[in-house]
Amino acid sequence: MTYLEDFFALKDKVAVVTGGGGTLPGAMAYALIKAGVRVSLWGRGSNTPISESVRNMKEKTGCPESVTGETVDTGNEEDVLRGLKHTEKEIGKPEILINGVGGVGKLSAFGDLNIREFNDSLRNNLMAGCVVPSKVFSTYWIANQIKGAIINIASMTSFLPLPGTWPYNVAKAGIINMTKSAANELAQHNIRVNAIAPGFFIGKQNKHLLIKQEDPPEYTPRGTAILGHIPAKKFGSPEELSGATLLLASNKASGYITGICIPVDGGYLTASI
Ligand SMILES: NC(=O)c1ccc[n+]([C@@H]2O[C@H](COP(=O)([O-])OP(=O)(O)OC[C@H]3O[C@@H](n4cnc5c(N)ncnc54)[C@H](O)[C@@H]3O)[C@@H](O)[C@H]2O)c1
């Protein structure tokens, strides 16, 4: 075993990655699998069936025995419980939960807000994206005396709201609050709760807001404005989340770290003008 394998001690751990068919959660799942973790990708399967995401991940990682998947609506408590029991049977007791579900949705002026859509976005980003799976997993971990680790996905909008994405901004600010309060209450049970705040990465759910065309790249006015605000002068690549993911997932490497949020943002949060 190398020094780093021993340092992170992730081999043979079990993780659930919600939204695992998505761009960023998929990259985080990839990093875990390559570090020796057995991963179940969870998703609603609404656009792409989860079986297809599992097949792609098996091929991409070259570790077919370490990947499985489950169709779960993470906003539904009973469905999450069912998914957890099934995952446990398939690959063992999960010790790591990555809450990857979420998406930015439509832009709107405040006065034009559609209240039903606002509620739907809160339900997706805050409830399905954090509260419901965190509640089910932490209860399960306490009952089974498992030292679990949760990684939530925050956003730049957790700290600085972006224009027009009202419910997303509010939900992602809530993710930081949830991360801290859950970390505080669950530390006595040896459960750690942290977050990663990705800057701007081209994902399926936000592509339409950032780029007009890919080759040659042509950005929307919003995409251009955001790029101008990133000191690194580029959008992030999903693999750039791997370091923060492995650190926060590893009880050995970050056993005394809980309640924090790591921005992975090319310096976006450092820029004032
Ligand atoms: N892409 C970015 O720049 C960026 C920046 C900051 C934060 N984020 C956050 O990262 C996370 C992933 O974003 P992404 O860009 O990879 O998006 P994505 O759309 O590629 O991935 C999200 C996945 O979640 C799944 N999903 C949605 N609702 C679900 C539900 N109720 N149950 C189960 N699965 C569900 C979708 O089918 C999709 O596969 C989101 O929370 C997003 O807000 C993304």
CA 190–ligand 1 middle distance (angstroms): 28
Whether 268 is catalytic: no
Domain coordinates in residue numbering, the chain: 3-207+238-270
For residue 75, give the DSSP letter. T
Between 212 and 183, name the one with better pLDDT. Answer: 183
DSSP lists the bridge partners of residue 261 as: 195
DSSP lists the bridge partners of residue 236 as: 201
pTM for this prediction? 0.97
Which residue owns the Cα nearest ligand 1 atom 2? 201
User: What does the mean pLDDT of the chain come to?
Assistant: 96
Q: How far apart are CA 18 and CA 25, in angstroms?
A: 7
Q: How far apart are CA 130 and CA 174, in angstroms?
A: 10
| Count of C-beta atoms within a 10 Å radius of residue 257 | 16
pLDDT of residue 271: 85
**Average pLDDT score over residue span 232-251:** 97
User: Could you read off the pLDDT of 79-95 as tens digits, one per residue?
Assistant: 999 999 999 999 999 99
pLDDT of residue 64: 98
Q: How far apart are CA 264 and CA 153, in angstroms?
A: 11
Which of 24, 204, 209 has most ligand 1 atoms within 8 Å of CB, for mutation?
24
CA 116–ligand 1 middle distance (angstroms): 20
**Average pLDDT score over residue span 214-221:** 88
Distance from chain centroid for Cα 161: 19
Closest CA to 239 of 4, 5, 11, 31: 31
pLDDT of residue 200: 96
Q: How far apart are CA 237 and CA 266, in angstroms?
A: 10
Confidence of residue 229 (pLDDT cuts 50, 70, 90): very high
CATH architecture assignment, domain 3-207+238-270: 3-Layer(aba) Sandwich (3.40)
The Cα-based distances of 187 to 114, 127, 182, 200 in angstroms read: 39, 21, 8, 31
pLDDT of residue 207: 87
Helices and strands counted in the chain (H then E)? 11, 9
Greatest Cα pair distance in the chain = 59
Confidence of residue 45 (pLDDT cuts 50, 70, 90): confident
User: Could you read off the pLDDT of 131-181 as tens digits, one per residue?
Assistant: 999 999 999 999 999 999 999 999 999 999 999 999 999 999 999 999 999
CA of 128, closest atom in ligand 1: 31
The Cα-based distances of 259 to 178, 183, 193, 231, 251 in angstroms read: 9, 5, 6, 27, 14
pLDDT of residue 114: 96
CA of 157, closest atom in ligand 1: 6
pLDDT of residue 232: 96
For residue 239, give the DSSP letter. G
pLDDT of residue 204: 80
Is the pLDDT score of 273 beyond 80?
Answer: no
Which amino acid belongs to residue 26? G
Around ligand 1, the residues with Cβ closer than 6 Å are: 18-19, 21-25, 43-44, 46-47, 72-75, 100-103, 124, 128-129, 153, 155, 198, 200-201, 203-206
Least confident range from 23-32, 79-88, 127-136, 202-211: namely 202-211
Q: Which of 30, 140, 168, 268 is catalytic?
A: 168
